[in-house]
A and B are shown apart, each in its own frame.
Chain A
């Protein structure tokens, strides 16, 4: 589904990603871990199409298409979803209006008829349950005055509405208390199918107690330096990242 090859990315001339290789197949859950400032969020931003990130080398192929050629909105319409670390507050745009506009533009892109008001409301009611959000949600402005936990639940709610093929959750666990964490993780698990894939970006193992990954990658100094089964996350939790740093500097890790 997603194939990233030798990806180099710079921000304002400074190289952040220095040759990332990553392959994700349908039905898989991948975790990307690593200390702060190693390029995890940069990777998510490049996949989303955010401006200011210069791809100097390498490629991202998504379902056979060159992802980097697609506009921001077309990436979403092709089924890519990013759960943002810091969702933006948009005053005066209701969540219902936002989601209905998004859903219908995606449907139009895929050659489907738009949902009418009743169909949309039914869908919205159904999907709110995934993240235990209340009915009042629809009339509220996007993220305005939301607590940290509500913002993250709203991200997963949007994911439930848009049913992406590839979801990338960037630090979804940051700022969540244990109940919110459970709700968010349950939401993600409910949305998992054999046809979609999820990449969870985090630097704590905590979230991975709830969302169990098939593969764990360690991103360090702009490269994926180590990959392994879910036990790797536990090892990182126990030993921290210093040993990765040491092995990396000694040239033991590629």
Chain B
């Protein structure tokens, strides 16, 4: 865990881009080619929401989506009272974000609206300078409404990047929200993502954070289950090698009775990669009949790879069903023997088992096109064939020293 590192000195070494880029290659470059996903693109460039038309779009069904900066001016009553994560979290990065965020995505879903198409936030950093980006996103989902958001973080291979992003999510009664997150970042990047979720009765929050490529990634999730029968399902997968480091820090607070939370995090660490899992569940005295399940499983492929895992339950109610467990191990020898006894080479058998291990997390992705895509990426990642999501237009020029705007010949 890098949780106690003081980043304030380090932050000062980075440049902050105080205005959006004058050149906004929105349609040309922000394209996701994952087939059949049909997502609605929300492009962020160097910390700013980039758009060709209006900075905020209002759909006939009442959905509002666009720049948070613009929303703060146009709809302050919909935004301001909900930017409060820093009040509940003493993390200095949270405080820094509250004071210094440039822009972000605002997504407002009124009551009784099911949004079919997922929204996809693609946040790209492309700068000749080492850039510090602080974004703030706010997502509000009304009663009985449902929406999915995919968050992709990318950077071209120019400068170093430091991202500090806070996403606040408010779920009204019976709201359902699915959140998927992945990234293609360069080895020296720092990426902090804080999700701060408040849930009302019967709401469902589902997140799936898949890490294939990162320098340092920290997924920080805080959930408040404020009213009865709210449910939070948190999944995560990290397949890291070289000197990558991925932390998942979770705090779920059961404030009300009859809520459920589930955490399933799995990782495979190769080379000298490191990962951390801190899963903290708090069950308050009133939160009777809580169900809280927590699992963290890891496979270390080398002696130098490292995992720090701490599943952690803090229970003040007496009628609860809570479990926690963490495992660190190699592959199951019995299973390897069984596969080999059918003619499968040891190397292939290992890959089959590693894929099965990792793919369990991917199976909880509910958008089929994305699930198939991620499954395929896991397979290729384990084969050593893939280091980045090659369906992202910006990364088709793998490993080349990319100049942005990229060579149109490659399009």
From residue 344 to 361 of chain B, which have CB atoms closer than 8 A to chain A?
344-346, 348, 352-353, 355-357, 359-360
Contact of B343 among A76, A87, A88, A90 (CB under 8 A): A76
What is the chain B residue whose CB lies nearest that of A80? B341
- Known contacts: A98-B352, A105-B348. The answer to whether A90 contacts B335 by CB under 8 A is yes
Taking a contact as CB atoms under 8 Å apart, the answer to whether B356 and A91 are in contact is yes
Taking a contact as CB atoms under 8 Å apart, the answer to whether A76 and B342 are in contact is yes
Taking a contact as CB atoms under 8 Å apart, the answer to whether A92 and B343 are in contact is no
A101 within 8 A of B: yes
B contact residues around A156 at 8 Å (CB): none
B264 within 8 A of A: no
Taking a contact as CB atoms under 8 Å apart, the answer to whether A102 and B357 are in contact is no
A193 within 8 A of B: no
Cα A91 to Cα B360 with chains together (Å): 9
What is the chain A residue whose CB lies nearest that of B359? A92
Cα A142 to Cα B342 with chains together (Å): 13
From residue 115 to 161 of chain B, which have CB atoms closer than 8 A to chain A?
none
- Known contacts: A90-B356, A92-B359. The answer to whether A73 contacts B346 by CB under 8 A is yes
B334 within 8 A of A: yes
Cα A109 to Cα B340 with chains together (Å): 14
Main SS class of interface, B: helix
A contact residues around B82 at 8 Å (CB): none
Cα A92 to Cα B358 with chains together (Å): 9
- Known contacts: A72-B337, A91-B360. The answer to whether A162 contacts B353 by CB under 8 A is no
A106 within 8 A of B: yes
Distance (whole angstroms) from the CB of A87 to the closest CB of chain B? 7
A93 within 8 A of B: yes
Cα A81 to Cα B346 with chains together (Å): 17
B70 within 8 A of A: no
Taking a contact as CB atoms under 8 Å apart, the answer to whether B343 and A106 are in contact is yes
B contact residues around A92 at 8 Å (CB): 355-357, 359-360
From residue 1 to 57 of chain A, which have CB atoms closer than 8 A to chain B?
48-51
A186 within 8 A of B: no
A152 within 8 A of B: no
- Known contacts: A92-B359, A105-B348. The answer to whether A73 contacts B343 by CB under 8 A is yes
A203 within 8 A of B: no
A contact residues around B346 at 8 Å (CB): 71, 73
Contact with B along A59-92 (1 / 0, CB 8 A): 0000000000001110111000110100110111
Contact of A73 among B345, B352, B353 (CB under 8 A): B345
What is the chain B residue whose CB lies nearest that of A94? B356
Taking a contact as CB atoms under 8 Å apart, the answer to whether A76 and B338 are in contact is no
Cα A72 to Cα B334 with chains together (Å): 13
Cα A51 to Cα B336 with chains together (Å): 11
What is the chain B residue whose CB lies nearest that of A102? B342
Cα A71 to Cα B336 with chains together (Å): 13
- Known contacts: A90-B353, A101-B352, A105-B348. The answer to whether A72 contacts B341 by CB under 8 A is yes
Cα A88 to Cα B342 with chains together (Å): 13
B339 within 8 A of A: yes
Taking a contact as CB atoms under 8 Å apart, the answer to whether A162 and B343 are in contact is yes
B contact residues around A125 at 8 Å (CB): none
From residue 291 to 337 of chain B, which have CB atoms closer than 8 A to chain A?
332-335, 337
Taking a contact as CB atoms under 8 Å apart, the answer to whether B342 and A158 are in contact is yes
A contact residues around B337 at 8 Å (CB): 48, 50-51, 72, 88
A contact residues around B342 at 8 Å (CB): 76, 81, 98-99, 102, 158, 162
B contact residues around A76 at 8 Å (CB): 340-343
Can you list 15 A-B pairs, Cβ within 8 angstroms, ordered by A?
Answer: A48-B337, A48-B341, A51-B337, A71-B346, A72-B337, A73-B340, A73-B343, A90-B335, A90-B339, A92-B360, A93-B352, A93-B353, A93-B356, A98-B344, A105-B343
Chain A contact residues, CB within 8 Å of chain B: 48-51, 71-73, 75-77, 81-82, 84, 87-88, 90-93, 97-99, 101-103, 105-106, 109, 141-142, 158, 162
Closest 6 CB pairs of A and B: A92-B356, A76-B343, A72-B340, A102-B342, A106-B343, A88-B338
